[in-house]
Amino acid sequence: MTRRALVVAHRTRPEAVEARDLVLRELAAAGVEPIIATDDSTAGNLPDFEMAIVLGGDGTILRAAELTRERGVPMLGVNLGHIGFLAEIEPDNVPAAVQRLTTGEYEVEERSTLEVRVLAPDGMRSQNWALNEATMEKTDAATMIEVIVEVDGRPLSTFGTDGLVLATPTGSTAHAFSGGGPVVWPDVDGLIVVPLAAHALFARPLVVGRSSTVAVEVLARSASDAMLVCDGRRRIAMPAGSRVEVQRSTLPVRLARLSPSPFTTRLVSKFGLSVEGWRGGARYVPGGPS
């Protein structure tokens, strides 16, 4: 049986092209046939593959997730971007990483995704999904959108806002973080709601449970229509009177991890946080010496 690996690379960065060529050589040495993703590639028009290698930043990894999620295939991210929260390795580790991936020397980390449903005023329904977030944005720069937020079938608050981010824990360090939301560890089963520049007394970021459904309606009186953007890639128009419902999906995205490390370590590394003065190791033992 032919073994195949999907290769997804940033289209314009020279370093991505160079890294892609290196990956192709390593795959050939391992006896694995590469499938190079193009702009026209979809989850449905690709042949079977058992692994994916992604060369770029988080945007490229989000693109690759569109091709791997439905197949349940793990993807290994090589960071060629600025932060690369979803990436696993740096470019100088590519040869060893490809070897370990092709020999199965990795663990799989599942990241939860969002199921997104939009109901338009004319009754038309749209369905989508997100690994990072679904962001509702105003379409008129001069006005706000008027929305009402609902949690588990009950209204919570009405307010005017520039937008609203509905994020996974994975997406908590992306758009939601930029909007003032909390950093949420990936193993927390929750959904994050972050209003953007809201005009309201109660419009704070929320974290709801894994079984909750969050709905946001663009009120009919809203002076601006809205646009819903999933992972910065897939757009759904939301004219006044529209409703979006978001809940945790049963279909995750699978990441290949070569060196599983605590999320704290990844957070410190990616954000360049200072940990000067940390001693570590000391633990309080009840009944022990004082």
**Could you report the per-residue pLDDT of 110-127, keeping only the tens digit for each?**
999 999 999 999 999 999
Catalytic residue among 21, 48, 58, 122: 58
Phi, psi (rounded to 5 degrees) for 24? -60, -40
Q: Is the pLDDT of residue 290 over 70?
A: no
Q: What SS3 state is found at 170?
A: helix
Q: Mean pLDDT, the chain, as a whole number?
A: 93
Q: What is the pLDDT of residues 240-253, one digit of tens each?
A: 999 999 999 999 99
Which homologous superfamily does the CATH classification assign to the domain defined by 4-111+252-271?
A: Probable inorganic polyphosphate/atp-NAD kinase; domain 1 (3.40.50.10330)
The residue extents of the domains of the chain are: 4-111+252-271, 114-248
3-state helix, strand, coil in the chain (%, to 5): 20, 35, 45
Longest dimension (CA), the chain: 71
**58 classed as catalytic:** yes
φ/ψ region of 152 (left if φ > 0, alpha if ψ in -120 to 50, else beta) reads left
Closest of 73, 225, 62 to residue 143, by C-alpha: 225
Residue predicted with more confidence, 151 or 201: 151
Structure tokens at 142: 């001069």
Q: Is the pLDDT of residue 284 over 70?
A: no
> For residue 282, what pLDDT is reported?
59
The C-alpha atoms of residue 192 and residue 130 are separated, in whole angstroms, by 13
114-248 under CATH 3.30.1310.10, yes or no: no
